[in-house]
């Protein structure tokens, strides 16, 4: 069974940068970042396949955020630049199999981390 642990969240001024990381125990194919603001539904952010060579991101963040994996494929990163106040949310790492690829729906992913809080001040 896959277990995921996120870290790297915190408080950042608008326009700043922050890097989130998610470490997985167990084999994964697709790893994904979601975020959820207070009072809102969970939103897809970015996804990466097992090799790290295929990625995609939501239109709202793709010019500013980059998803990547380390050489051992055990950790996925979300490098965030030009942070905006509307990016304030709990950020979640999730994992799924091959069939989860390209799905923006939370229900497509079987394993979830506990989330890490990102707060962007104006």
- Give percent above pLDDT 90 in the chain: 78
Residue 86 pLDDT greater than 90, yes or no:
yes
Q: What pLDDT does residue 100 have? A: 83
Pairing of strands 18-25, 3-7: antiparallel
């Amino acid at each position: 069974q896959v277990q995921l642990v996120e870290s790297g969240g915190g408080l950042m001024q608008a326009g700043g940068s922050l890097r989130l990381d998610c470490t997985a125990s167990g084999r994964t194919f697709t790893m994904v970042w979601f975020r959820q603001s207070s009072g809102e539904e969970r939103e897809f952010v970015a996804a990466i396949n097992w090799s790290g060579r295929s990625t995609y991101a939501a239109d709202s963040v793709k010019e500013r955020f980059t998803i990547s994996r380390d050489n051992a494929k055990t950790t996925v990163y979300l490098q965030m630049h030009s942070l905006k106040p509307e990016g304030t949310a709990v950020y979640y790492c999730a994992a799924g199999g091959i069939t989860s690829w390209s799905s923006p729906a939370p229900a497509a992913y079987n394993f979830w981390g506990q989330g890490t809080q990102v707060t962007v001040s104006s």
